[in-house]
Structure formats: C-alpha cells, structure tokens
Amino acid sequence: MNDMSPHPVAAPDIASAEALHPKERRSRRFAWIGMAASVILFGASLVVLWHIVSEIDVNELKSAFTAASLRQIGLAVLFTTISYSLLTCYDAIALRQLKLKIPYLTTAMASFTSYAVSFTLGFPLLTAGTVRYWIYSPKGLSPGRVASLTVITGVTFWLGMALVLAWSLIRMADELASLVYTHIWVNQLIGLVAAVFVAGYLVWVSLKRRSVRIQGWKLELPGLRLSLGQILIGAADVCAGAGVLFVLLPGGHGLSFETFLAVYIFAVMLGVASHAPGGLGVFEATILLALSSYPREPVLGALLLYRLCYYLVPFVLALALLGAYEVRNRLRSSRGAFKPDDEPAEESLAGR
C-alpha cells in the first residue's frame, strides 16, 4: 500500500556509501583492478593457447599423448604421490602452529581432498576451506580456526615457491635467458629479490611473534623453526609437482631440471593470478611459449598427461573419499539415533 510513498531508506543508503572509509574504498578499487587484471590475463592466455593449438596436427598429438612409456607414467604417479604426501605436512604444520592435536589420518584426509578439489575447481580459499571445515569440524575446529589453517598452508606454498624460484633463477640464469629470451641479469635480479624476500621473512618472524590482521581477524604467524619447516616442505612439494611434468616431457629435449623449475613456477604463478581452475589454459600457454623451440605436439601431449596424473585422478579419488566419508558419518549417526530407543526397552525387561 506504500508503493506511491517516498522511499525513506534511499537517503541512509547513499549516506552510508558516501561515508565509506577511504581505506575501504581503496581496497574495493584494488579488488576490482585485480579482478579485471585476472580476466585480461586469462583471456590473453586463451588467445595465445588457441593460436598455438590451432597449428598442431591432431594425429601427431594423439601419437605424442600415447607415446609415453610405462616408466614415464610410473615416475609421474610416484612424483604425484610424493607431492600430495608433502601437502599433508602443510596442514600438520598449520595445526601445530594453532596448537591443535588432530590424528594424522584425519589431517591427511582433509589435506588431500581439499587440495585435490581446489586444484581442479579453483578459488582455493573457498573450496579448500569448505572441504577442510567439513572434515575438521567434527573434531571441534571452528570456522575461524579452519580459515587460519588455510591461510598458513598458503604461506607455506608461497615460501617454498619463492625459495625454489630464487635457486633456479640465480643458478640457471644463462640457460633461462636463451629459453625465454630475457637477459641474464634480469633473471638473476628476480632470483635475488625472491631470495631476499625469503631471508627477510625469516628474519622478520624470528625477531618476535608476528601476526597479521585481515578485516579485524588476527592470525599469528609461525616462528623461525616452523617457518624453516614451511620453506623446506614447500620447496620439496614444488619440486615434486614440477617433476611430474618434467618426466612426461619427450626425451632428447636437453633441458635441465633446475632450468625447468623456473619455467614451471612462472606457469603456476600466472595460473594462480588468473584465478582459472587449476590455471587451466594459462599454465599450458606459458609452458608452450617457454618451450616454443621444441616440437609442440609432444609438449602438449605431456601437458595433457600431466593434467590427468596430477589433477584429474586425484580429484576423482578425492570425491570418492569424501563420498565414503559422508556415508560412514551417516551410518554412525543412524546407529546413534537408535540407541536411546533401545535402552528403555532393555531396562523394562530387566525390571520384570
């Protein structure tokens, strides 16, 4: 009945919008800029990938995809297993930092399924956090604790990436310069910046307890000992993940593993920046561009096998584990529902 009356809520809404804190307005502006940059990066990568793939012979691609030997596939599976096993240590370190005691089987289940799902679907803070909460909440972890755990695991990942990137760029600067058409000093400078970042972070957290605040939410960062563990485990995981693709590359490429590490890390970083699920399209385009001097069909075949080994198979296995986990919980809850009804009947029989 009040449709013809003035809307009194309009003025407060406008006033509240105008009264936004400058920092909040700036953060919203940066969020839009970041989103636009991600969309542009993803779109540009798809254009590059389409241009590369359109020139590929489909028959040669099929033969390259099926040309992988059993030894290559076996090594790829081994490195995938090592990588996902190391990922369970991400959660273990975060739980130790949060002073939480969770059985390792639960930790391994939560870590493997959350990463397998988030790697494939993207948006790791949302997808990985949701899966972790699903598994950790029966153990008494609150949403805030799960969010803290997810952030700490992310710090582990980036510290490991930075260390390996610094090592690869500084040691193999000349080979990378000829591979990606950059100057040696540019590669060394980027590597030095990454090394300084890691060293600076270690010094920063070793001086005193450090914490970060995100919109009023406080998170205490690990100290020196745990941070060293984070870096080493993260670096080993990155090397294992890169090893999956490296062993699937066709023989005779003459590319050293240390040189390939930098290419792999840049591809992963661009994939993360694009917010595409699993860096799909962006990762492939970066690898194909960096290895443009090699035959494209075998490299793309290796990339397809890499997706299969490192993403698709763990994703399917994670869905199966989550399904079995949910079925088991349902069965347990149904058994518990029958107990209160059975106990009075037993007491009445005993009374007779």
The pLDDT, as a whole number, for residue 127 is 83
Span 10-31, pLDDT tens digits:
444 444 444 455 555 655 554 5
- pLDDT of the residue at 56: 57
Per-residue confidence in pLDDT tens, the chain, 352 aa: 444 444 444 444 444 444 455 555 655 554 565 556 556 645 654 565 565 555 555 666 677 677 788 899 999 999 999 999 999 999 999 999 988 999 999 999 999 999 998 888 877 778 888 889 889 988 888 888 888 888 899 899 999 999 999 999 999 888 888 777 788 999 999 999 999 999 999 999 998 888 877 656 778 889 899 999 999 999 999 999 999 999 999 877 778 899 999 999 999 988 888 777 777 788 888 898 888 888 888 888 889 889 888 988 899 999 899 888 888 877 877 776 655 555 554 444 444 4
* Amino acid 204: pLDDT: 93
Q: Are 146 and 133 in contact (CB under 8 A)?
A: yes
Q: Are 147 and 215 in contact (CB under 8 A)?
A: no
Q: Which of 79, 237, 220 is nearest to 158 (CA)?
A: 237
Nearest partner of 134 among 115, 110, 107, 153, judged by Cα: 110
> How far is it, in rounded angstroms, from Cα 166 to Cα 169?
5
Nearest 10 degrees: Cα torsion 206, 211, 212, 218: 160
Rounded CA separation 96/139 (Å): 15
DSSP H stretches of helix in the chain:
10-18, 22-53, 58-66, 70-97, 104-121, 124-136, 143-171, 173-180, 184-207, 224-248, 257-274, 282-290, 296-307, 313-351
- The angle formed by the CA atoms of residues 122, 124 and 129, to the nearest 5 degrees, is 135
Using one digit for the tens of pLDDT, what is the confidence trace for 74-133?
999 999 999 999 999 999 999 999 889 999 999 999 999 999 988 888 777 788 888 898
Res 321: pLDDT: 92
CB 238 within 8 A of CB 263: no
